[in-house]
Amino acid sequence: MRCIVRHNYTLVELIAVIVIVAIIATVGAVRLRRSPAFITIDKQVNTIKTLLAVSRNAATRLGHPVIVWLDRKEHTLNATWAEFHGKIKKPIAKIQLPQGFKLNFHRLDYDPNEGSQVANLFKLYPDGSGSGHDILLSLHRRRVLIRVSPLTGTIQTRELEDAE
């Protein structure tokens, strides 16, 4: 006589496996998915870094300083080249900052007037050096610091702790 053995799973075992798979999938999806604020600020940081790199290269190519400045009324970041005595000559690049972005810049010996419409952020020189400012870009609670080295003009970014 043959004995037939069936390997069936109980309903409880099947439900337990489904729950475990759902938990693993949820944790994985949360880690892989980034919020729109993270994606938006990352994109804007890359755009600003590109504007600064193009401006640095233009200063070297043209043999004149390039000024990167913020127009608070239009909410744009602009780059123009200037003669050494400061007369603005030709626009190089312009980017529109999205609504909700807050842009601050810092230098130890310079505190810009918040009420002014135009604020100079950086001056990039033909030898590749820069004025050494920092840009602090914030959206919601996320903050990213963009720094231009005063000696080499290299552009560095650093994520800061969430603002409370």
What tens digit of pLDDT does each residue of 61-106 get?
888 888 887 777 788 888 887 665 556 667 788 888 777 777 766 6
Position with higher pLDDT, 119 vs 56: 56
Q: What pLDDT shows up at residue 123?
A: 83
Q: Are 92 and 75 in contact, with CB atoms under 8 Å apart?
A: no
Check whether 53 has a pLDDT greater than 60: yes
Average pLDDT over residues 154-164: 75
Check whether 114 has a pLDDT greater than 60: no
Please report how many Cα atoms fall inside a 13 Å half-sphere around the Cα of residue 112, on the Cβ side. Answer: 21
Q: Kindly list the structural domains of the chain, giving each domain's residue range(s) and its CATH number in brackets, ordered by start.
A: 39-160 (3.55.40.10)
Residue 95 φ then ψ, to 5°:
-130, 145
The pair of structure tokens assigned to 133 is 């400012």
The pair of structure tokens assigned to 113 is 């007037």
What pLDDT, in 10s, does the model give residues 2-12? Answer: 766 667 778 88
Check whether 113 has a pLDDT greater than 50: no
Q: How far apart (Å, rounded) are the C-alpha atoms in residues 127 and 124?
A: 9
Residue 98, H or E segment: none
- CA-nearest of 39, 52, 71, 27 to 123 is 52
Check whether 128 has a pLDDT greater than 80: yes
Contacts of 73 (CB under 8 A, 6+ apart): 117
Q: What pLDDT shows up at residue 108?
A: 39
If pLDDT is split at 50, 70 and 90, which confidence band does 21 have? very high
CA 61 to chain centre: 26
Q: What pLDDT shows up at residue 109?
A: 42
Q: What pLDDT shows up at residue 30?
A: 64
